[in-house]
Amino acid sequence: MKQLRALPVALPLIAVAVSSLADPRPVRWGEFVTIMQGNTLSGKTAAGTIVNLYFLAGGSASYEEVGGARGRGTWQLDKDGDVCVAWANSPENPGGCFHVTIDGSKVAWESKDTKGGGTLRGGITETFLKPVAQ
């Protein structure tokens, strides 16, 4: 999968109560699992392709791009509580570890190489968000 600029974080659903906050706050440890379970994280790839991301308890991850490309991978939390993702068969984006923050339904992630963000959709969905004019 290509690196994402706006999410999937994708990133997305069952009703997980995510309160709206004045400032983004870090998502750490088991909270990531709780927020992502039964949720779709929607955003864009670095190339601008709209994508949905899905993170499952137990460490499975998948994505689907608006053009139909799909991929699978794994995720885990590192010693600092950051989210580390590895995409199978994706030489252009092997993944990496990301510091994740949330502000209401908006999710942002940042690594030393890239940053991006997306929107939690509140359930599992195969529909895609429409591009927002910049």
How many structural domains compose the chain?
Answer: 1
Positions of the chain with pLDDT under 50: 1-21, 133-134
Dihedral sign for Cα 26, 31, 38, 1, please.
Answer: positive
28 found inside a domain: yes
Indicate the pTM of the whole model: 0.74
- What tens digit of pLDDT does each residue of 7-34 get? 333 332 222 333 334 578 998 777 898 9
Return the CATH number at 50. 2.40.128
Q: What pLDDT score was predicted for residue 92?
A: 61
Range of the domain at 87: 4-120
pLDDT value, residue 12? 28
pLDDT, residue 59, reads: 94
Q: For the residues of 50-73, what is the DSSP string, one character each?
A: EEEEEEETTTEEEEEETTS-EEEE
Asked whether residue 9 is assigned to any structural domain, the reply reads yes
Domain-embedded: residue 133? no
Q: In the structure encoding, which two tokens stand for residue 1, read together?
A: 């999968």
Q: Answer yes or no: is 125 within a domain.
A: no
Residue 128 lies in a domain: no
Question: Is residue 134, in this structure, part of any structural domain at all?
Answer: no
pLDDT recorded at residue 11: 30
- Would 62 be classed as within a structural domain? yes
CA distances for 128 relative to 44, 86, 116, angstroms: 10, 23, 17
Residues 6+ away with beta carbon under 8 Å from 52: 8, 10, 12, 40, 41, 42, 63, 64, 121, 125, 126, 128
